[in-house]
Amino acid sequence: MAQYPAWDQDEARSLIAGLAHLEGATLPILHALQEEFGYVDPQAVPLIAEALNQSRADVHGTISFYHDFRTAPPPRRVVKLCRAEACQALGCETLVEDLAREHGIVVDGHGGGHDAVVETVYCLGNCALGPSALSDGELIGRVDADRVAALCGGRQ
């Protein structure tokens, strides 16, 4: 997944300044910030409000209205776990339960203390060797909860 630079208040300020002249500039600014940093840091709210002569509540309202905007850095890693039929037959749902119980990682939720998320996908084309996972472009067969947790960078 894309690596983003750390939030930089000066860089954010100049991005905002470059787009503030646009009509309805709030959304283009928010998109530009998220594209640059992977999320919209709460520190951007007063900057945008000031540049566009809006209240902080207005800017905050726009950010929370559109679910696409993140207000925290994205996870460094996304592990995709297949939960389609063949992988179900090979135990992927038990794996999902073990992952939550033993490692505190909730599939399609967020993992406690892990800088990674596990997302459900349906068929990775590796059905005979399920349960299957995809991590960093690598297809991995016969995964169990410990292996998926390790892929997340968590404890085993």
Give whichever of 49 and 127 is closer to ligand FES, judged by the CB atom. Answer: 127
Give whichever of 78 and 84 is closer to ligand FES, judged by the CB atom. Answer: 84
Q: Are strands 133-135 and 138-140 parallel, antiparallel or unpaired?
A: antiparallel
Name the token pair of 93: 């749902």
Whether the CB-CB separation of 5 and 73 falls below 8 Å is answered with no
Give whichever of 86 and 150 is closer to ligand FES, judged by the CB atom. Answer: 86
Closest separation in Å from C-beta 121 to ligand FES: 8
Closest separation in Å from C-beta 84 to ligand FES: 4
Closest separation in Å from C-beta 81 to ligand FES: 9
Q: Cα–Cα distance between 80 and 124 in angstroms, integer?
A: 9
Binding site for ligand FES (CB under 6 A): 82, 84-87, 123-127, 130, 132
Asked, as a colleague might, if the bond just before 73 is cis with ω within 30 of 0, I would say no
Alpha helices by DSSP H, the chain = 9-19, 26-37, 44-52, 56-65, 85-89, 92-103, 145-151
CB atoms within 10 A of CB 118: 29
Give whichever of 85 and 115 is closer to ligand FES, judged by the CB atom. Answer: 85
Give whichever of 15 and 92 is closer to ligand FES, judged by the CB atom. Answer: 92
Closest separation in Å from C-beta 99 to ligand FES: 16
Closest separation in Å from C-beta 148 to ligand FES: 14
